[in-house]
């Protein structure tokens, strides 16, 4: 018996849904594979936009690692926040 998943706009088989999710996870892992563990503040601003990084820091969603003369952000957390759909309404 084939299982189906009902979405508001269409119905797909469970296998199709799982394959789509697996493909998405693989592509994300490939794109993030060579990322360094931490990036500088300047690099974080270029990756995600200055306003976004500053807002996430103000909201407590991300904190920089502070060393003498350097502010560094964890790349994995920046990518996670960047991919999160944010509804401001």
Q: What is the pTM of this model?
A: 0.68
pLDDT of residue 75: 94
Contact assessment for residue 85 and residue 54, using Cβ atoms and an 8 Å cutoff: no
Cβ-based neighbours of 62, under 8 Å, separated by 6 or more: 53, 56, 73, 74, 77, 78, 81
pLDDT of residue 44: 95
Tens of pLDDT, residues 45-82: 999 999 999 999 999 999 999 999 999 999 999 999 98
Separation in Å, CA 60 to CA 13, 63, 70: 39, 7, 19
H or E element at residue 24 = helix 14-32
Tens of pLDDT, residues 13-27: 888 888 888 888 888
pLDDT of residue 87: 67
């Amino acid at each position: 018996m084939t299982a189906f998943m009902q979405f508001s706009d269409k119905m797909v088989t469970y296998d199709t849904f799982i394959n789509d999710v697996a493909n998405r996870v693989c592509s994300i892992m490939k794109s993030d594979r060579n990322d360094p563990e931490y990036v500088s503040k300047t690099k974080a601003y270029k990756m995600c936009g200055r306003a976004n990084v500053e807002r996430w820091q103000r909201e407590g969603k991300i904190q920089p690692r502070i060393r003498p003369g350097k502010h560094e952000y964890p790349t994995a957390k920046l990518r996670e926040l960047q991919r999160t759909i944010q509804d401001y309404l």
